[in-house]
Amino acid sequence: KSIKVSVPATVSNVGPGFDIMGFALNVPVEEMILTIKQKPEIKIKKITGDKNKLPFDINKNTATVALKKMLDKLNTNIGIELEINKKLNSGSGLGSSAASAVASVFALNEILNKPFSKNELLEFALQGEAVASGSIHADNVAPCLFGGFILIRDYNPIDLIKIKSPKNLFCSVLHPQFEIKTSDARKLIKKNYTLKELLTQTSNAAGLVTALLKSDYELIKRSLNDVVAEPARAKLIPGFYEIKNRALENGALGCSISGSGPSIFAFSKSLDEAINIGNEMKKVSSRYTKKNIIYVS
Q: Which residues sit at the interface with ligand HSE, rule CB under 6 A?
A: 12-13, 18-19, 133, 137, 139-140, 182, 185-186, 229, 259-260
Q: Which of 62, 64, 182, 289 is catalytic?
A: 182
Cite the DSSP H helix spans in the chain.
62-74, 96-111, 118-133, 141-146, 182-187, 195-214, 217-222, 230-233, 240-249, 271-286
Q: Catalytic site residue 210?
A: no
Least CB distance from residue 135 to ligand HSE, whole Å?
A: 7
In the bound state with ligand HSE, the residue whose beta carbon lies nearer, of 22 and 116, is 22
Count of alpha carbons within 13 angstroms of residue 32, beta-carbon side: 26
Q: How many CB atoms lie within 10 A of CB 41?
A: 11
Least CB distance from residue 260 to ligand HSE, whole Å?
A: 4
In the bound state with ligand HSE, the residue whose beta carbon lies nearer, of 239 and 259, is 259
Taking CB atoms, the residue at the shortest distance from ligand HSE is 259
Q: How far is Cα 250 from Cα 245, in angstroms, rounded to an integer?
A: 9
For 256, phi then psi, to 5°, come to -160, -175
Q: Catalytic site residue 83?
A: no
In the bound state with ligand HSE, the residue whose beta carbon lies nearer, of 139 and 273, is 139
In the bound state with ligand HSE, the residue whose beta carbon lies nearer, of 30 and 280, is 30
Q: How far is Cα 117 from Cα 120, in angstroms, rounded to an integer?
A: 5
Least CB distance from residue 116 to ligand HSE, whole Å?
A: 24
Least CB distance from residue 53 to ligand HSE, whole Å?
A: 16
Q: How far is Cα 137 from Cα 158, in angstroms, rounded to an integer?
A: 10
Count of alpha carbons within 13 angstroms of residue 99, beta-carbon side: 31
In the bound state with ligand HSE, the residue whose beta carbon lies nearer, of 84 and 98, is 98
Residues forming beta bridges with residue 292, ordered by sequence position: 176
Burial category of 99 from C-beta neighbours within 10 Å (exposed 0-12, middle 13-18, buried 19 and up)? buried
Least CB distance from residue 71 to ligand HSE, whole Å?
A: 25
Q: Which of 31, 129, 230, 280 is catalytic?
A: 129
Q: Which residues belong to the active site? A: 129, 182
